[in-house]
Amino acid sequence: MNRYASRLGLLLGVLPLVLLTACGQQGSGLTVGSTAPKLATKTLADVGGDLSRMTTYRQPDERMYRYSLDKALATGKPILLEFATPGHCSICDRQLQITKSLLDKYQPNVLFLHMDQYENPEAFKAYRVMGDPWTFVIDAKGVVRYQQPGPMLYQEMDAAIRAVLPSPKQAALN
Protein backbone atom coordinates (compact mmCIF):
# COMPACT_ATOMS: atom_id res chain seq x y z
CA MET A 1 0.00 0.00 0.00
CA ASN A 2 2.81 2.39 0.87
CA ARG A 3 4.62 1.60 -2.40
CA TYR A 4 1.38 2.21 -4.33
CA ALA A 5 0.88 5.58 -2.66
CA SER A 6 4.44 6.70 -3.46
CA ARG A 7 4.07 5.66 -7.13
CA LEU A 8 0.77 7.50 -7.37
CA GLY A 9 2.41 10.59 -5.87
CA LEU A 10 5.24 10.36 -8.40
CA LEU A 11 2.77 10.01 -11.25
CA LEU A 12 0.76 13.01 -10.09
CA GLY A 13 3.96 15.03 -9.80
CA VAL A 14 5.15 14.16 -13.32
CA LEU A 15 1.80 14.40 -15.09
CA PRO A 16 1.67 18.23 -15.15
CA LEU A 17 5.13 18.33 -16.76
CA VAL A 18 4.03 15.89 -19.46
CA LEU A 19 0.95 17.98 -20.19
CA LEU A 20 3.01 21.17 -20.42
CA THR A 21 5.19 19.59 -23.08
CA ALA A 22 2.16 19.24 -25.34
CA CYS A 23 1.28 22.92 -25.11
CA GLY A 24 3.98 24.91 -23.46
CA GLN A 25 7.42 26.38 -23.53
CA GLN A 26 9.51 23.21 -23.65
CA GLY A 27 12.48 22.63 -25.93
CA SER A 28 15.50 24.66 -26.83
CA GLY A 29 14.71 26.21 -30.21
CA LEU A 30 17.36 27.65 -32.47
CA THR A 31 19.56 30.33 -31.01
CA VAL A 32 19.46 33.91 -32.18
CA GLY A 33 22.16 34.36 -34.81
CA SER A 34 21.71 30.84 -36.23
CA THR A 35 21.07 30.30 -39.90
CA ALA A 36 17.45 29.24 -40.37
CA PRO A 37 17.18 25.64 -41.62
CA LYS A 38 15.93 25.42 -45.20
CA LEU A 39 13.49 22.61 -45.73
CA ALA A 40 10.55 21.92 -47.95
CA THR A 41 7.27 22.15 -46.06
CA LYS A 42 3.70 21.69 -47.23
CA THR A 43 2.02 24.53 -49.06
CA LEU A 44 -1.60 25.17 -49.89
CA ALA A 45 -0.88 24.16 -53.49
CA ASP A 46 0.45 20.78 -52.28
CA VAL A 47 -2.91 19.97 -50.68
CA GLY A 48 -5.13 21.23 -53.49
CA GLY A 49 -6.12 24.37 -51.59
CA ASP A 50 -7.63 22.39 -48.69
CA LEU A 51 -6.73 24.40 -45.57
CA SER A 52 -7.91 21.58 -43.30
CA ARG A 53 -4.92 19.59 -44.59
CA MET A 54 -2.55 22.41 -43.60
CA THR A 55 -3.65 23.37 -40.11
CA THR A 56 -5.85 22.61 -37.14
CA TYR A 57 -6.51 26.35 -36.77
CA ARG A 58 -10.22 27.20 -36.96
CA GLN A 59 -9.76 30.50 -38.85
CA PRO A 60 -6.70 30.12 -41.09
CA ASP A 61 -5.49 32.79 -43.46
CA GLU A 62 -4.34 31.43 -46.84
CA ARG A 63 -1.41 33.84 -46.93
CA MET A 64 0.37 31.89 -44.17
CA TYR A 65 0.41 28.69 -46.26
CA ARG A 66 1.50 29.87 -49.73
CA TYR A 67 5.25 29.32 -49.32
CA SER A 68 7.32 26.31 -48.44
CA LEU A 69 9.87 27.30 -45.81
CA ASP A 70 12.80 26.81 -48.19
CA LYS A 71 11.13 28.95 -50.88
CA ALA A 72 10.24 31.66 -48.34
CA LEU A 73 13.88 31.86 -47.22
CA ALA A 74 14.96 32.19 -50.87
CA THR A 75 12.81 35.32 -51.40
CA GLY A 76 15.16 37.57 -49.43
CA LYS A 77 12.29 38.87 -47.31
CA PRO A 78 12.04 38.77 -43.53
CA ILE A 79 9.85 35.96 -42.18
CA LEU A 80 7.68 35.57 -39.13
CA LEU A 81 7.54 31.81 -38.57
CA GLU A 82 4.87 30.70 -36.11
CA PHE A 83 4.86 27.16 -34.71
CA ALA A 84 1.42 26.52 -33.28
CA THR A 85 -0.88 23.52 -33.16
CA PRO A 86 -4.32 24.70 -32.04
CA GLY A 87 -5.64 21.14 -32.35
CA HIS A 88 -4.03 20.41 -28.97
CA CYS A 89 -3.07 23.86 -27.71
CA SER A 90 -5.67 26.49 -26.85
CA ILE A 91 -2.99 29.15 -26.33
CA CYS A 92 -1.93 28.56 -29.94
CA ASP A 93 -5.34 29.68 -31.19
CA ARG A 94 -4.90 33.08 -29.55
CA GLN A 95 -1.30 33.30 -30.78
CA LEU A 96 -2.44 32.75 -34.37
CA GLN A 97 -5.07 35.47 -33.99
CA ILE A 98 -2.29 37.90 -33.06
CA THR A 99 -0.16 36.69 -35.96
CA LYS A 100 -3.04 37.19 -38.39
CA SER A 101 -3.66 40.70 -37.08
CA LEU A 102 -0.15 41.69 -38.19
CA LEU A 103 -0.44 40.25 -41.71
CA ASP A 104 -2.08 43.28 -43.31
CA LYS A 105 0.31 45.66 -41.59
CA TYR A 106 3.50 44.04 -42.87
CA GLN A 107 2.73 42.17 -46.07
CA PRO A 108 4.15 42.22 -48.74
CA ASN A 109 7.39 43.24 -46.95
CA VAL A 110 7.33 40.29 -44.52
CA LEU A 111 6.26 36.71 -45.15
CA PHE A 112 4.15 35.02 -42.49
CA LEU A 113 4.32 31.23 -42.22
CA HIS A 114 2.43 28.96 -39.85
CA MET A 115 3.65 25.45 -39.08
CA ASP A 116 1.18 23.04 -37.52
CA GLN A 117 2.82 20.05 -35.86
CA TYR A 118 0.33 17.62 -37.39
CA GLU A 119 1.06 18.78 -40.93
CA ASN A 120 4.74 19.81 -40.84
CA PRO A 121 6.40 17.82 -38.04
CA GLU A 122 9.78 17.95 -39.79
CA ALA A 123 9.85 21.73 -39.33
CA PHE A 124 9.33 21.34 -35.57
CA LYS A 125 12.30 18.97 -35.48
CA ALA A 126 14.56 21.16 -37.66
CA TYR A 127 13.86 24.25 -35.53
CA ARG A 128 14.12 22.23 -32.29
CA VAL A 129 10.64 23.19 -31.15
CA MET A 130 9.34 20.88 -28.42
CA GLY A 131 6.12 22.65 -27.52
CA ASP A 132 4.06 25.45 -28.85
CA PRO A 133 3.41 28.21 -29.57
CA TRP A 134 6.89 29.23 -30.61
CA THR A 135 7.76 32.27 -32.74
CA PHE A 136 10.83 32.92 -34.87
CA VAL A 137 11.63 36.11 -36.75
CA ILE A 138 14.13 35.55 -39.53
CA ASP A 139 15.85 38.42 -41.34
CA ALA A 140 16.18 38.85 -45.11
CA LYS A 141 19.50 36.95 -45.09
CA GLY A 142 17.98 33.89 -43.42
CA VAL A 143 19.36 34.50 -39.93
CA VAL A 144 17.23 33.96 -36.83
CA ARG A 145 17.02 37.37 -35.16
CA TYR A 146 14.33 36.60 -32.60
CA GLN A 147 12.84 33.52 -31.02
CA GLN A 148 10.23 33.29 -28.31
CA PRO A 149 8.84 30.16 -26.71
CA GLY A 150 5.30 30.53 -25.48
CA PRO A 151 2.68 33.16 -26.17
CA MET A 152 3.50 36.71 -27.21
CA LEU A 153 1.64 39.98 -26.96
CA TYR A 154 0.81 41.95 -30.10
CA GLN A 155 3.30 44.67 -29.14
CA GLU A 156 6.10 42.13 -28.64
CA MET A 157 5.53 40.51 -32.01
CA ASP A 158 5.22 43.90 -33.71
CA ALA A 159 8.55 45.06 -32.23
CA ALA A 160 10.32 41.84 -33.28
CA ILE A 161 9.12 42.29 -36.86
CA ARG A 162 10.08 45.99 -36.98
CA ALA A 163 13.59 45.08 -35.80
CA VAL A 164 14.29 43.07 -38.98
CA LEU A 165 12.89 45.59 -41.43
CA PRO A 166 15.36 47.88 -43.18
CA SER A 167 15.49 51.44 -41.96
CA PRO A 168 14.13 54.07 -44.37
CA LYS A 169 17.76 55.03 -45.25
CA GLN A 170 18.67 51.40 -46.03
CA ALA A 171 15.49 50.92 -48.06
CA ALA A 172 16.32 54.02 -50.15
CA LEU A 173 19.80 52.63 -50.93
CA ASN A 174 18.36 49.35 -52.22
Q: What is the mean pLDDT of residues 138-160?
A: 96
Query: Does 17 reside within a domain?
Result: no
Task: Please check whether residue 32 is in contact with residue 138, taking contact to mean a CB–CB distance below 8 angstroms.
Answer: no
The rounded Cα 32 to chain-centroid distance in angstroms is 15
Query: Does 53 reside within a domain?
Result: yes
- At 162 the three-state DSSP class reads helix
Q: Give the per-residue pLDDT at 29.
A: 76
Our count of domains for the chain comes to 1
CATH classification at residue 87: 3.40.30.10
Query: Does 69 reside within a domain?
Result: yes
Q: What is the mean pLDDT of the chain?
A: 85
Q: Crossing angle of helices 90-106/154-162, nearest 10°?
A: 40
Can you give the residue range of the structural domain that contains 109? 26-165
Query: Does 11 reside within a domain?
Result: no
Q: Is residue 158 over pLDDT 80?
A: yes
Q: Is residue 52 over pLDDT 90?
A: yes
* Of residues 88, 119, 115, the one with CA closest to residue 29: 115
Q: Whole-prediction pTM value? A: 0.81
Query: Does 62 reside within a domain?
Result: yes
Query: Does 172 reside within a domain?
Result: no
Residue pLDDT, tens place only, 98-126: 999 999 999 899 999 999 999 999 999 99
Task: Please check whether residue 116 is in contact with residue 84, taking contact to mean a CB–CB distance below 8 angstroms.
Answer: yes
Query: Does 12 reside within a domain?
Result: no
Query: Does 10 reside within a domain?
Result: no
CB-based burial, 54-71: b 16+ in 10 Å, e otherwise: bbbbeebbebbbebbbee
Whole-number percent of the chain with pLDDT over 70:
80
Confidence of residue 13 (pLDDT cuts 50, 70, 90): very low
Q: Is residue 14 over pLDDT 50?
A: no
Lowest-confidence segment of 54-63, 68-77, 102-111, 163-172 by average pLDDT: 163-172
